[in-house]
Amino acid sequence: MAVAMLLVLPYLAHATFMPPHQEPLGFGKTGQEDAHILRRVKVVENSTVTVDDILGVAENFNLDVWQVRSSSVDVHLTSGTEPSFHHFLEGSGLAYTDSALPYSLVHPQSIRPQASAWNLSSLSNSTFHTDYRTIDEIGIFVKQLIDLHPDQARLVPIGHSSEHREMFALEITANRTSLKKKTGFVITGAQHAREWIATSTALFIAHALLADPSESYSMASLLNTFDFYLVLLPNPDGYVYTWETDRFWYKNRQVVGAKAKCVGIDMNRFGYKWKSKAQFPAKNKNKTGTDPCAPWFPGNRAWEAPEVNNIANYITTLPNLGAHIDLRSYGQMISSPFSFSCKRTPKDAEDQLEAALGASQALKAAHGTSFTTGSLCSLLYKAPGNIVDYMYARAGIKFSYAVHLRDTGTYGFVLPPEWIRPVGEETANMIKSLAGFIVGKKCAVTTN
């Protein structure tokens, strides 16, 4: 069966699937009549209000928290939820800034251009990377890439999602018949469904790896020393849901219990250091991490999400792995282990941070975008079960990173589509720098 149909048919077969338990109205919903605001609330000096207090209020108002840092919280608001939260902020004396999110990005258009106009034979001239793509279009894109490069690319099934969509990995190498032992490089797209730029960037990287070496931002030269394994859609059910129902859906679409009032598990909860009562995204007094309706709900047990199992099982079949990048948004950060603890330091921390600093400089050279570097826990918050920790500590991948792409909070999860190509280009620079560091160190695999 053609690759495109392998990707599209599971989607069509379950397009009308409705889980028996729906999330409460108000959480992340995007009513057509609503104005959408991204509000950054900052804890000011000498304030008695903490980040935890802000998170508690956001939970009480059933608001959608987009990002948490040590001194600020980003919250998505609609015209229906904004007044009450605004009243709280005015009374607290906290500083805050607002960004109005474009209506067209919150509500994607249903009219799509014809795939025949993409011209995937050229990375520079292709129109594919001018817009965000549906799951159907991603299937056609992969089929076209493989048809153009049958000796270098293949699609490997790795299991099924909660709603029974088949999951795949795209494997890219210089020559599939070559017996030369090379270093494995794993790239995972958006685990969190609403992070569309992460999915689009994974697609750009796949295209860049197969592009003519003479083209700008081609990554073809890396295939001389690396084999690439790309899980483009780690969360296919959630991704479809963001197109059809809720643009800001976060988790997978798994039913978590017969009496559960909400569905879904945070995909980024692998088995290493997983905790059932983890407090996300900070030390929230209400322990919302155990609430099935919270976006960061870790599940009832480790390895509960089939998508997570599929990825981990696939990784165990791959030889000589040296690097892993988990693409995310937003924040402009390159983060190394650990995530489960801010007190533990990996034995390879020096090499990891040195490589990350070089990668951030190479990234900035493309379009001037600045990224911060550091451990994932120190840059964000403590999160047990993170894929970055698992890849490093259990899969033995020395250079394992979470890369939060653009921006820093103007658009958040609704980055304008004209930024897709620049983000892809600077990410290509970053990966090439990291690959060069690994080759220079001659340290493809470590065992922890």
What's the maximum distance between 2 C-alpha atoms anywhere in the chain? 67
| Residue position matching structure tokens 């978590």 | 256
In angstroms, rounded to a whole number, what is the distance separating the alpha carbons of residues 69 and 94? 15
The tens-digit pLDDT sequence of the chain (448 residues) is: 444 333 433 333 333 222 333 333 233 344 446 789 999 999 888 778 888 888 888 888 888 999 998 889 999 998 878 888 888 888 787 889 999 998 888 887 656 667 888 999 999 999 999 999 999 999 999 999 999 999 999 999 999 999 999 999 999 999 866 656 899 999 999 999 999 999 999 999 999 999 999 999 999 999 999 999 999 999 999 999 999 999 999 999 999 988 888 999 999 999 888 887 655 665 545 544 567 888 888 998 899 999 999 999 999 999 999 999 999 999 999 999 999 999 999 999 999 999 999 999 999 999 999 999 999 999 988 889 899 999 999 999 999 999 999 999 999 999 999 999 999 999 999 999 999 999 997 643 333 3
Position 442 scores a pLDDT of: 60
Cα–Cα distance for residue pair 212/124, rounded to 1 Å: 10
Q: Count CA within 13 A, CB hemisphere, residue 337.
A: 30
Output the CA–CA distances (angstroms, integers) from residue 210 to 44, 121, 139, 327, 345, in the order listed. Answer: 49, 9, 17, 19, 37
Name the strand (E) or helix (H) holding 52.
Answer: helix 51-60
Per DSSP bridges, beta strands 333-336 and 372-375 are parallel
For the chain, which domains are there? 36-106 (3.30.70.790), 115-241+304-441 (3.40.630.10)
Q: What is the pTM of this model?
A: 0.89
- Per-residue confidence (pLDDT) for residue 27, from 0 to 100: 32
Query: What pLDDT does 386 receive?
Result: 92
Q: Which residues pair with 336 in a beta bridge?
A: 375
| Side-chain half-sphere exposure of 343, counting CA atoms within 13 A | 0
Tell me the two tokens of residue 19: 């889980």
Do residues 204 and 246 make contact, with C-beta atoms less than 8 angstroms apart? no
Q: What pLDDT is stored for residue 15 in this prediction?
A: 31
Kind of pairing, strands 183-188 and 321-329? parallel
Work out the number of other CB atoms within 10 angstroms of the CB of residue 242.
Answer: 25
Tokens of 63: 């608001």
